[in-house]
Structure 1
Amino acid sequence: MKPNLTTLLPALSCLLFLPANAQQWSPEQANAWHKTQPWRAGSNFVPSTAINQLEMWQADTFDPETIDRELGYAASCGMNSARVFLHNLLWEQDSEGLLKRMDQFLTIADKHKVGIMFVLFDDVWDPNPKLGKQRDPKPHTHNSGWVQSPGRDVLVDPAKRKALEPYVTGVLTRFKDDKRVIVWDLYNEPGNMNTSAYGKVELPPEEKKEHALELAKLCFEWAWKVRPSQPLTMGVWTGDWSTKEKRDALNAYQIDHSDIITFHAYTDLEKTKSMTEPLFAYGRPVVCSEYMARTAGSKLQDILPYFHDKKVDAYQWGLVAGKTQTQYPWESWKQTFTEEPKIWFHELFHKDGKPFDKEETDLYKKLTGN
């Protein structure tokens, strides 16, 4: 259905006349933007040939052929968006090359009518990222090669944290008015302790949360210097946000400074509802930027129709089973697997494009009208 331009003009005017160095959008500006968008349904995307963000984007392993094919799988079932992770080391390695490959990626995504939410930082999995050739996957293990951004050595050092500013402002400035980019997610799961996998080399929880909060503050400060035409967000993922009073300092900062509210929910439908509905009180668009973990109770058939009914944009984890091996559960870090689980944890497609469960891809087609 085509939008009515008469009704959208007031909404668009809220965005067109933002002052220079404007900060957080008002709820009215955020909702005005949201009215210009379709309901977004998609995945967290990394091509099956990449084990992590570095392998996805580095020049030697950037794989546009696979990206094109696999975003085609997404489009074939009606997905119209993808959430995609970047890494600060890519900027330090070759900033112009990174921007060029991002532009190439966006061209491919746009061909498939897939809008992109980029993620700039990430506190999850290996705290010691290194450029160059990435390790091979650990057999039968969930996300055995994913890396944090920035690494722990940068996160704990105030001077090194501040040196990340050119990465944030450079990427945002290049794509701040690019219609192929729909959202900027500044920092994924700040403060995550990775206790299931990398707990032995991490920081004490409160110390990591303190460092994460400082980086979160810098992220918004730097992003506001650019003030892209797309919304800025930083999703809550753990703790209690059922009321304002129950939020911890990090959750409160993330929610109170985001243009649109994003969150993660790897749980069953009833708990997902209890995590989603308190966020409506902020009067801003709400997006679930990570969900679907089948054997943890987070099932697409239960939860996607709920998000559709509530106009909550939704991004499941994973698209095509590949080197990240996230069809294996989190428990694969502690429990030995010798073969692929019968019920996949994440992911929607095999490498050849065959759905893991056709009922799921049919549901996407039904809800997105494709």
Structure 2
Amino acid sequence: MRRTRTTFAGIVAIAAIALAGTPSRGDDGPWPVARAKAWGEAHPWLVGCNYCTSSAINQLEMWQAETFDLPAVDRELGWAHELGFNSMRVFLHDIPYKQDPEGFLKRIDAFLAVADRHEIGVMLVLFDGVWDTDPKPGKQREPKPGLHNSGWVQSPGRAILGDPARHDELRPYVVGVVGRFKDDPRVHAWDLFNELDNPNANSYGSTELKDKADRALDLLKKELAWIRPLNPSQPLTMGVWKNDLTDPAKLTPINKFQIDQSDVISFHNYNPPDRMKADVDALKKYGRPVLCTEYMARPNGSRFDPILGYLKKEGVGAYNWGFIDGKSQTIYPWDSWKKPYAAEPPVWFHDVLRRDGKPYDPAEVGYIKSVTGAAK
């Protein structure tokens, strides 16, 4: 059976809800919990990684027509399939849509077709609040040696994000992409805005908006208003990523909004197993499927073994950061922004495979396959 297609139990659950007349989603709120649970039964354990082609330094280089590298996608998603991965979290960007809407949509479709051939579904990320505040179309810069994510860009850039009067410029992109793929089974979920309030203090903090959190929340609310009338068959999510998630009274206003408005709940955790468990226990109390959309930073104590096995046992979706040691250079740690590395670090921060598909750590890959079932 294809791992990422709707299971028989999931079909039964969804059909039961439809016959009961439960609405799928209101224009002003998330799915009912029963609908979210039915989606979870249809997708019992999503496992994969955050993926960018090894030949791309950022989302623009990945998706612009001149540098869209479908052969690399085919090769690398083949390796992902061999690991037992059935889902990938993939970042889009608003600029390629502005450049050529139909061309961009065709490239997304081509990407999804290749992923589907490798039995992999995709979580698409629409906006991103991390790294370079000023994305520019066209040829992207070359990687800076020894520097983690030296060319990743935000979407939208600060010029649009910081001006609420310009937020509506993004509506055609959001509606165009979601509208095209809203009933496509190859799309597992929509992640609306990655780390929208990240201050990027260690990298681009000096260029960040002083009121970024407020402006990003403004845009997120508009994004929800644009998408919900489309009624996509896939769930909407927006990952909580900072501060204490274990005490509802300590949630930031943004974290509370994200949890309250998500069809399924997603979160980021780069911490050791005990803190991962604390977040999982806390987020499961909301009664919705839970997805960890970022984890695995080896020097931080966030490693596949034992966290991947734990997430499977708990039925929590698992997307580690990074796959191939490519132009994004995320084998280097976050602190490389303070002191770039002169050589490959003795312990990789993120990523699983080298560019030729060989594992960074064969024992680690063996563990991944044992958990996903690919070892069989």
With structure 1 as the length reference, what TM-score do the two structures score? 0.96
Show the 5 A alignment for 1:109-128. Answer: 109-128=115-134
Question: For residue 267 of structure 1, what is the amino acid of its counterpart?
Answer: N
Counterpart-to-counterpart distance in 1, 2:7 and 2:162: 50
- The equivalent of 1:353 in structure 2 is 357
Matched, 1:48 2:54: yes
1: CA distance between counterparts of 2:64 and 2:99?
9
Correspondences of 1:1-370 after superposition (within 5 Å)? 5=8, 8-14=11-17, 18=23, 22=27, 23-204=29-210, 207-370=211-374
Q: For 2:80 and 2:13, how far apart are their aligned partners in 1?
A: 33
* 1:212–1:222 CA distance, 2 compared to 1 (3 A): same
CA RMSD of aligned residues (A): 1.7
Structure 1, unpaired ranges of 5+: none
Deviation, structure 1 residue 366 = 1.5
What amino acid sits opposite 2:214 in the alignment?
E
**For this pair of structures, how many residues does the alignment match?**
368
CA–CA separation in structure 1 for the residues paired with 2:35 and 2:256: 21
Instruction: Give the Cα–Cα distance (whole angstroms) in 2 for the partners of residues 286 and 6 of structure 1.
Output: 19
Instruction: Using the TM superposition, give the Cα deviation of residue 243 of structure 1 relative to its aligned residue in structure 2, in angstroms.
Output: 2.3
Q: CA deviation at 1:9?
A: 1.8
Shift of 1:134: 0.2
1:38 positional shift: 3.5
- Change in Cα spacing, 1:56 to 1:4, as seen in structure 2 (3 Å) is closer
1:203: Cα distance to partner?
A: 2.2
> Which amino acid is 1:346 matched to?
H
Q: Secondary structure at the match of 1:350?
A: coil
Q: CA deviation at 1:277?
A: 1.2
Q: Which moved more, 1:8-17 or 1:290-299?
A: 8-17
Q: Percent identity?
A: 50
Q: Which moved more, 1:14-23 or 1:160-169?
A: 14-23
3-state SS of the aligned residue for 1:187? strand
Amino acid at match of 2:181: F
Residues 21, 226 of structure 1: 8 Å contact kept: no
- Alpha-carbon distance, 1:14 to partner: 2.8
TM-score after normalising by structure 2:
0.94
1:6 Cα deviation after fit = 6.7
Deviation at 1:247, TM superposition (A): 0.9
TM-fit CA distance, 1:15: 5.8
| Cα shift at 1:255 | 0.5
Structure 1 distance, partners of 2:173, 2:25, is 20
Mapped to 1, the partners of 2:137 and 2:40 lie a distance apart of: 37
What's the offset of the Cα at 1:77?
A: 1.1
Give me the whole-angstrom Cα distance separating, in 1, the residues matched to 2:9 and 2:271.
Answer: 41
| Distance apart, 1:222 and its partner CA | 1.1
1:321 and 1:6 mapped to 2: Cα distance?
38
Report the 3-state secondary structure (helix = DSSP H, G, I; strand = E; otherwise coil) of the residue aligned with 1:129. coil
- Alpha-carbon distance between aligned partners in 1 of 2:18 and 2:121, rounded to the nearest angstrom: 19
- 1 CA distance for matches of 2:24 and 2:291? 26
- Structure 1 distance, partners of 2:194, 2:157, is 13
- Offset at residue 20 of structure 1 (A): 8.1
Q: Deviations over 1:1-48 (max 9, x none)?
A: 798747742433436964686541011100011101131110000010
3-state SS of paired residue (1:164): helix
**1:318-338 Cα distance to aligned partner (Å, 9 max, x none):** 110010000000011101311
Q: Deviations over 1:157-193 (max 9, x none)?
A: 1121122111111101100010100000010001101
2: distance between equivalents of 1:83 and 1:4?
21
The 8 Å contact of residues 15 and 33 in structure 1, kept in 2 or not, is answered as: no
